[in-house]
């Protein structure tokens, strides 16, 4: 039975974050805030005053100290705002931290133009003069890659000062989607009308009663249809901001700007879409299987998430899920498992859904502190998969923070999704290997197929949506609710096939995807999933060298470019094999399921 709480006060302390791990009290936070403010003003003294290795080191070390403290100040407010988006004090802390971030950007905006004005030989001289600069060497030379994309000192300062304004579309959507949105009503088990919540929706959309699914679907999309023009305005502004910045910074396209940091060729992105659409047949076949097994004359969007094996309701408590996860991750070795075991009692995890809490789940690794994992636990199979996914991120943060200096401890989102998805694949293997009940085995296989569809195919569809919408903006075509809907509907039909009969709501799917406010991000779920399939199979073969290579990968942070880090695990995404192999694996799963 899923535990529900009417307020955060009711949740046991052991299932809530301990904010004192960041700051003992608000006074300590305020002291750090004032210190950052003072030090930020002092950063300006370096403008025009860096003439040798020592002064360059002094600037870089002071800037790093300010940035690391800002991270703590920002995270403290953000985490509290996320557990209750209605908390005005927490929101004010976030707003103040954002304003401080803008000030830091403005105070340090001189540096990149200065650095790129140097000859490479001069920079090497500085590093020889001041051995402590070795710590910053990789980042300094990485900056030279951006030479063609950095503006004059004056223009960089203007863009820095506009930082808060440029992030307004994303912030506005976040407030709409998390704090202000009111879903329609659904009928509860007692026959009473109650307001739908996201947590309820994730349950009801999988309910075997089709009327309940339809009712929940209509109630869930109701506010998105009502707000479609407002949301289209925020999304359009976000896309146009991104394309404008790409143009100002001399990138050929917004897509190439999005891939530049990870040094991923645009061909990797385009090949992902091309290969997926060329092998879309098994996904369409799955639609036909779903329609047949559900005994439907028409398959609709609200039929795409209900498990195809009726009568299997797996209720898994938080404690039981945690124990199962630890066993499933045994192939990763004792150190991995024993470390993860400590996270629960140390209160690194905020577990329960409560009113006002941010939806979904995430991990936030804080260097020098620990990972913070947000969940909205519902004591079911999906919740267990969400947990193990976020624990993959958390352990990646843990290992990188322990084995990398601050400057390279953070890791690219590109490789982040590998760590989380490897965990999910290990869990499904563990469950299928031990389950003897045929109905539950079919249920789990169905779950894996749906996970594959959501983490791979849906994300590729989203990636293509982003590519098209940015191309529209770049060519001066209008972007509004109708245009977004036309693009989304067309793609949904291509990916899901002719079996799905469209309700009016389908084409407004774009309006409920927060990831679209982080352009060219979602494709990494798909590349991460394909990479994880390969890595997990190596780990399950109990190949000791594969385990060591993977743990080394987790320890690597951002010490190399993502594609190079992945090559150490045996995955080369510059070639088609990882994507092709993942698509073949999906085809096998469909065949296995069809046979059952």
DSSP codes joined into one string, 211-256: HHHHHHHHHHHHHHHHTHHHHHHHHHHHHHHHHHHHHHTT-S-HHH
Q: Using 50, 70 and 90 to split pLDDT, how confident is the model at 55? A: very high
Query: Tens of pLDDT along 199-217?
Result: 889 889 988 899 999 999 9
355 lies in a domain? no
| pLDDT score recorded for residue 270 | 94
| Alpha carbons within 13 A on the beta-carbon side of 551 | 16
Q: Using 50, 70 and 90 to split pLDDT, how confident is the model at 2? A: low
Catalytic residue among 390, 464, 474, 505: 390
Cβ(90)–Cβ(80) under 8 Å?
A: yes
Euclidean distance between CA atoms 294 and 210, whole angstroms: 10
Domain harbouring 500, CATH code: 1.10.1370.20
Euclidean distance between CA atoms 588 and 591, whole angstroms: 5
Segments forming the whole domain that contains residue 576? 227-346+380-596
56 lies in a domain? yes
Euclidean distance between CA atoms 82 and 111, whole angstroms: 33
| pLDDT score recorded for residue 311 | 72
Task: Map 496-532 to HEC letters.
Answer: HCCCEECCHHHHHHHHHCHHHHCCCCCHHHHHHHHHH
Which of 434, 420, 377 is closest to 536 using CA atoms?
A: 420
- Calculate what percentage of the chain has a pLDDT beyond 90: 79
Residue 274 sits in the same domain as residue 162: no
Count of helix runs (H) and strand runs (E) in the chain? 27, 7
Structure tokens given for 155 = 């223009």
Euclidean distance between CA atoms 394 and 348, whole angstroms: 9
Query: Tens of pLDDT along 327-341?
Result: 999 999 999 999 999
373 lies in a domain? no
Between the CA of residue 486 and those of 350, 472, 493, 512, what are the distances in Å? Answer: 39, 13, 11, 16
Euclidean distance between CA atoms 50 and 114, whole angstroms: 9
Residue 400 sits in the same domain as residue 309: yes
- Cβ count within 10 A of residue 561: 17
Euclidean distance between CA atoms 236 and 480, whole angstroms: 7
Q: Which SS3 state, helix, strand or coil, does residue 257 take?
A: helix
Cβ(581)–Cβ(537) under 8 Å?
A: no
Alpha-helical runs (H) found in 345-437: 381-403, 406-409, 413-434
Residue 565 sits in the same domain as residue 482: yes
426 lies in a domain? yes
Residue 332 sits in the same domain as residue 470: yes
Residue 582 sits in the same domain as residue 473: yes
| pLDDT score recorded for residue 577 | 87
511 lies in a domain? yes
Stretch (H or E) spanning 194 = strand 193-195
13 lies in a domain? yes
Boundary (domain end) residue, out of 139, 166, 193: 166
Rounded to the nearest 10°, the torsion over CA 442, 444, 449, 450 is 120
Number of domains in the chain: 2
Boundary (domain end) residue, out of 121, 143, 166: 166
Euclidean distance between CA atoms 165 and 307, whole angstroms: 44
Query: Which of 401 and 197 is assigned the larger pLDDT?
Result: 401
Is pLDDT at 312 greater than 80 in this prediction?
no
Domain harbouring 93, CATH code: 1.20.140.70
Euclidean distance between CA atoms 247 and 254, whole angstroms: 8
Residue 142 sits in the same domain as residue 38: yes
448 lies in a domain? yes
Rounded to the nearest 10°, the torsion over CA 521, 527, 533, 535 is -90
Cβ(535)–Cβ(550) under 8 Å?
A: yes
Euclidean distance between CA atoms 523 and 529, whole angstroms: 10
Euclidean distance between CA atoms 166 and 173, whole angstroms: 13
Residue 401 sits in the same domain as residue 509: yes
Boundary (domain end) residue, out of 136, 166, 196: 166
| pLDDT score recorded for residue 191 | 85
- Cβ count within 10 A of residue 413: 15
Q: Tell me if residue 119 is catalytic.
A: no
Cβ(118)–Cβ(53) under 8 Å?
A: no
Q: Using 50, 70 and 90 to split pLDDT, how confident is the model at 179? A: confident
β-pairing, 185-187 vs 193-195, is antiparallel
Query: Tens of pLDDT along 265-302?
Result: 999 999 999 999 999 999 999 999 999 999 999 999 99
Residue 441 sits in the same domain as residue 292: yes
Which of 335, 333, 341 is closest to 402 using CA atoms?
A: 335
Residue 429 sits in the same domain as residue 328: yes
Task: Please identify which residue in the block is written with the tokens 């990789």.
Answer: 138
Residue 153 sits in the same domain as residue 274: no
Residue 158 sits in the same domain as residue 231: no
Structure tokens given for 98 = 């954002």
Structure tokens given for 81 = 């705002």
Is pLDDT at 434 greater than 60 in this prediction?
yes
Query: Tens of pLDDT along 82-103?
Result: 999 999 999 999 999 999 999 9
Euclidean distance between CA atoms 365 and 250, whole angstroms: 33
Is pLDDT at 562 greater than 60 in this prediction?
yes
| pLDDT score recorded for residue 266 | 95
Which of 496, 467, 453, 456 is closest to 579 using CA atoms?
A: 456
187 lies in a domain? no
Query: Tens of pLDDT along 137-150?
Result: 999 999 888 888 88
Which of 396, 420, 418 is closest to 571 using CA atoms?
A: 418
Structure tokens given for 180 = 């202000």
Residue 291 sits in the same domain as residue 400: yes
Q: What angle do CA 463, 465, 467 make, to 5 degrees?
A: 70
Is pLDDT at 1 greater than 60 in this prediction?
no
Structure tokens given for 444 = 């789990």
Farthest-apart Cα atoms in the chain, separation: 77
| pLDDT score recorded for residue 543 | 84
Q: What is the CA radius of gyration of the chain?
A: 25
Q: 0.85 cut: is pTM over it?
A: no
Stretch (H or E) spanning 594 = helix 577-595
């Amino acid at each position: 039975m899923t535990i529900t709480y009417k307020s955060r006060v009711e949740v046991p302390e052991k299932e809530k974050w301990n904010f004192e791990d960041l700051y003992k009290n608000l006074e300590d936070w305020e002291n750090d805030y004032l210190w950052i403010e003072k030090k930020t003003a002092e950063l300006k003294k370096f403008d025009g005053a860096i003439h040798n290795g020592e002064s360059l080191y002094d600037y870089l070390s002071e800037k790093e100290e300010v940035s690391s403290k800002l991270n703590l100040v920002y995270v403290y407010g953000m985490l509290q705002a996320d557990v209750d988006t209605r908390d005005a004090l927490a929101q004010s802390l976030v707003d103040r931290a954002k304003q401080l971030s803008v000030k830091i950007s403005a105070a340090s905006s001189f540096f990149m133009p200065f650095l790129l004005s140097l000859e490479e030989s001069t920079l090497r001289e500085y590093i020889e003069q001041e051995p402590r600069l070795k710590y910053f060497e990789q980042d300094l030379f990485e900056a030279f890659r951006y030479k063609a994309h950095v503006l004059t000192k004056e223009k960089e300062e203007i863009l820095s000062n506009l930082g808060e304004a440029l992030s307004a579309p994303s912030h506005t959507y976040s407030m709409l989607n998390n704090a202000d949105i009111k879903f329609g009503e659904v009928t509860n088990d007692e026959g009473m009308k109650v307001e739908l919540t996201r947590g309820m929706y994730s349950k009801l959309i999988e309910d075997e009663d089709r009327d309940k699914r339809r009712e929940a679907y209509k109630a869930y999309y109701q506010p998105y249809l009502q707000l479609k023009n407002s949301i289209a305005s925020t999304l359009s502004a976000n896309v146009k901001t991104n394309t404008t910045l790409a143009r100002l910074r001399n990138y050929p396209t917004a897509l190439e700007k999005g891939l530049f940091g990870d040094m991923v060729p645009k061909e990797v992105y385009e090949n992902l879409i091309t290969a997926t659409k060329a092998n879309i047949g098994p996904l369409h076949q799955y639609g036909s299987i779903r329609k047949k097994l559900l005994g439907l004359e028409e398959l609709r969007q609200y039929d795409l998430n209900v498990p195809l094996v009726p009568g299997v309701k797996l209720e898994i408590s938080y404690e039981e899920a945690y124990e199962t996860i630890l066993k499933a991750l045994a192939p990763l070795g004792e150190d991995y498992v024993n470390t993860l075991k400590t996270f629960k009692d140390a209160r690194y995890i905020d577990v329960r859904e409560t009113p006002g809490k941010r939806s979904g789940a995430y991990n936030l690794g804080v260097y020098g502190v620990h990972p913070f994992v947000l969940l909205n636990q519902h004591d079911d199979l999906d919740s267990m998969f969400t947990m193990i996914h976020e624990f993959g991120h958390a352990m990646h943060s843990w290992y990188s923070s322990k084995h990398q200096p601050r400057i390279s401890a953070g890791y690219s989102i590109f490789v982040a999704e590998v760590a989380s998805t490897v965990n999910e694949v290990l869990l499904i293997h563990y469950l299928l290997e031990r389950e003897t009940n045929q109905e539950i085995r079919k249920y789990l296989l169905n779950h894996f197929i749906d996970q594959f569809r959501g983490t791979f195919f849906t994300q590729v569809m989203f990636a293509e949506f982003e590519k098209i919408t940015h191309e529209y903006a770049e060519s001066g075509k209008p972007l509004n609710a109708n245009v977004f809907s036309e693009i989304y509907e067309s793609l949904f039909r291509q990916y899901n096939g002719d079996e799905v009969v469209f309700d009016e709501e389908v084409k407004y799917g774009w309006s409920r995807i927060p990831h679209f406010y982080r352009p060219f991000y979602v494709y990494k779920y798909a590349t991460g999933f394909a990479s994880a399939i390969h890595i997990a199979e190596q780990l399950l073969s109990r190949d000791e060298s594969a385990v060591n290579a993977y743990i080394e990968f987790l320890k690597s942070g951002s010490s190399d470019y993502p594609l190079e880090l992945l090559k150490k695990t045996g995955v080369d995404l510059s070639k088609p094999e990882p994507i092709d192999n993942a698509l073949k694996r999906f085809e096998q799963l469909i065949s296995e399921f069809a046979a059952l």
